[in-house]
Structure 1
Amino acid sequence: MLGLSEDLDPADDSLTVWIERYLDLAVRGVRSAEVAAKIARHLQRFATWIAGGLGHDRLSAVTVREVTAWREHLAAAGNLGRDGTAAPMAAATVNNHLAHLSALFSWICAHATAELLRHGDPTKKVPPLPLPAPQPRALAAAQVRTVKNVVDRIETFHELKGRRRRGAAARLHAHARPARGRAIVYLFGTGLRRAEVVGLDLDQLEVAEVAVLRRAKTVRLRDVRGKGRTSRTVFLGRDARQALADYLEHERPGDATASTTPTALFLSAASIAARRPDGRLSPRSINTIVGEIGRLHDAQTSDPGRKLGVLRPHDARHTFAFELSQRSGHNRAELERRLGHANDRYLRLYINPPDDIAASYIEDL
């Protein structure tokens, strides 16, 4: 290997080898399985990029120029659709890739010989992409009303229909879990993030008995694990309590099969052969559930001002944050406590009103 000491194993100049060492010694078993998988995926993308562009994966050949070129590639064509079409990657996602690559090279610099990286860490001089100004995504009051209306009638959208079903008792599609979908939407309305909903366990619910849950006025989710290893208590409103009680009574028992260890609050349908061994929902499943409710909503309304386009889990969090900000008099401490966020950039975003409210402020000025 050109430029390396004769006593070095040639494998020591392999980017792929160093990535595996890093993952085994510093990531797997240290970070959650989901985060470790994401880091591995991002680093493998870089290794593939280097091997494809240079014809080899030598660690000593990674320069600032190569890292910069990879950043620009991700920004221009980092996403591949199901049809193989390349599309730009969001700036925040590109920066997440760069952060994982930077952590890798910081670790390599601390453990490898100086001859492998003679010019130092190649990621240090590659700045992240500037992020666009965050946009408020809170739903307008009219949209909130119609979303709740659709969610309250969600069973009717999952019923089997057709000539054979006329006059028969209503039956749902095999994988349909409307009560679960309703409960998830109302939980997002308490300020939870998608990852927090996925990670919820049944024992975090202060009151798990259905009868007590229906009549209780104060119910909490304890130790909700958020970003940065934070945890907080989340209070459940009336809609969330009733929706959770319906799910726990009518749907969850049938999905908590003997073949699983059903500690998760929300479970995949037992009829799905490919579900996880523990039955826990995946983040992608959450996106699908919420997105489908958004599509049903838009199909039910002809008012352009009420249409959502795409409903995302975070939209409900923004709506909750705006309402909390209004009712608490923009109390920063309360926003931090209930949202699990201390970043000024995002706290300011959460207090921004939806467009219809912002427009009404200046209508008569």
Structure 2
Amino acid sequence: MPSPNPSSATPPARPDRAEITSRKVVGLPERLDPADDSLPVWTEHYLDLAVRGVRSAEVTAKISRHLERFGAWITGGLGHDRLSTVTPREITAWRDHLATAGNRGRDKSPAPMAPATVNNHLAHLSALFTWITAHAPEGLLRNGDPTKKVAPLPLPAPQPRALAAAQVRTVKNVVDRIETFHELKGPRHRGAATPRVHAHARPLRDRAIIYLLFGTGLRRAELVGLNLDQLKPAEPERLRKVKKARLVGVRGKGRTSRTVFLGRDARQALADYLDQERPGDAAASTGSAALLLSAASIAARHPDGRLSARSINAIVGEIGRLHDA
């Protein structure tokens, strides 16, 4: 029986760095002395063994840049780069330095660094020392990981983003005329007694959505989760006449339930939608319970016709484009 060709033998499988689940599982190379007390040496081997080939090139460059900044800070402050001398005091001082003068202004003068960016630096430094602590001998870092006792900077409260009163008025102006944006403009449709709109267009539904969002503050998931029987009253004629209408049992976060009252604009918009557009789409869905339905002509819609949260994004985005145009 002929011997197998050595050149055709399958080479042994090499471990894929992308499959490494922890920075601690990679051993040190033989050429690295575990007792080597040099921050740049440990940093370079951490990058080589736990970052390069595991993280993307962009993230790798960012981590390397952040760790180089810390190394330069230690060398400039202590006059050497000995790893064993790094304590929480140096980490805290570096954090405060970044927060006050970590950036460069247009005139190359020191400028503050955003708290989120400072915390990103600290996270990369913490990952480095976690890896070093797992591989270094006990005598090298006698007090353990120096980053564990350094708290990140508190982040500022997010600023609310809302439309100004003038913007609300102009958006409502577009929504009040929304049918004209969906009318067919071809030669054969000009002069028609009743202008036709595109098959997928539901301008009355979109108007009702905007007025519900403006008037009630409902979230997307709450809006698309509404059923027709939650609207009181649900008859178009009564909805136009009553001064008070509400949505009952609106399910919110944390399994909460509340009642939401509707303003005049929302009541009128819902009445128009329920009277003119929803019946045809509901019939195609065998009597869907959802309040707001996607167009029956859309083949990929849900079996019950219920809108998705992404549909709300698309509708609001399209109205925003019409407004800006």
2:19 alignment partner AA:
L
Q: 1:183 aligns with which of 186, 208, 221?
A: 208
Q: Which runs of 5+ in 2 are unaligned?
A: 1-15, 27-49, 61-115, 117-150
Aligned partner of residue 273 in structure 1, secondary structure: coil
Report the CA distance between 1:54 and its aligned residue. 1.4
User: In 2 relative to 1, CA 284–64 (structure 1 residues): closer, same or farther, beyond 3 Å?
Assistant: farther
Aligned residue pairs total 193
Distance 1:219 1:65 in 2: 62
Residue 255 of structure 1 contacts residue 268 of structure 1 at CA under 8 Å; is this kept in 2? yes
| 1:141 corresponds to 2:165 | yes
Root-mean-square deviation (Å): 3.2
Distance 2:172 2:228 in 1: 25
Within 5 Å, give how 1:145-164 maps onto structure 2.
145-164=169-188
Residue 222 of structure 1 contacts residue 234 of structure 1 at CA under 8 Å; is this kept in 2? yes
User: In 2 relative to 1, CA 207–157 (structure 1 residues): closer, same or farther, beyond 3 Å?
Assistant: same
User: In 2 relative to 1, CA 131–296 (structure 1 residues): closer, same or farther, beyond 3 Å?
Assistant: farther
Which deviations, in whole Å up to 9, do the C-alpha atoms of 1:190-221 show, x marking residues without a partner? 11111110111111111001111001111110
Residue 260 of structure 1 contacts residue 279 of structure 1 at CA under 8 Å; is this kept in 2? no
Q: Equivalent residue for 2:267?
A: 241
Residue 261 of structure 1 contacts residue 279 of structure 1 at CA under 8 Å; is this kept in 2? no
Q: Equivalent residue for 2:219?
A: 193
| 1:257 corresponds to 2:283 | yes
Q: 2:198 aligns with which of 173, 183, 186?
A: 173
Distance 1:165 1:129 in 2: 62
Q: Equivalent residue for 1:53?
A: 18
Q: Which runs of 5+ in 1 are unaligned?
A: 1-50, 56-60, 78-90, 92-126, 300-365
User: In 2 relative to 1, CA 158–220 (structure 1 residues): closer, same or farther, beyond 3 Å?
Assistant: same
Percent identity over the alignment is 73
Residue 146 of structure 1 contacts residue 297 of structure 1 at CA under 8 Å; is this kept in 2? yes
Distance 1:209 1:230 in 2: 27
Residue 285 of structure 2 contacts residue 305 of structure 2 at CA under 8 Å; is this kept in 1? no
Report the CA distance between 1:131 and its aligned residue. 6.0
Distance 2:281 2:154 in 1: 45
Residue 260 of structure 1 contacts residue 277 of structure 1 at CA under 8 Å; is this kept in 2? no
Work out which structure has the larger RCO, using CA pairs closer than 8 Å and 6 or more positions apart in sequence.
1
Distance 1:270 1:245 in 2: 19
Report the CA distance between 1:173 and its aligned residue. 0.3
Max radius of gyration: which structure?
2
Q: 2:302 aligns with which of 264, 271, 276?
A: 276
**How does the TM-score come out when normalised to structure 2?**
0.54
1:171 alignment partner AA:
R
Aligned partner of residue 283 in structure 2, secondary structure: coil
Report the CA distance between 1:128 and its aligned residue. 11
Report the CA distance between 1:260 and its aligned residue. 3.8
Distance 1:65 1:142 in 2: 59
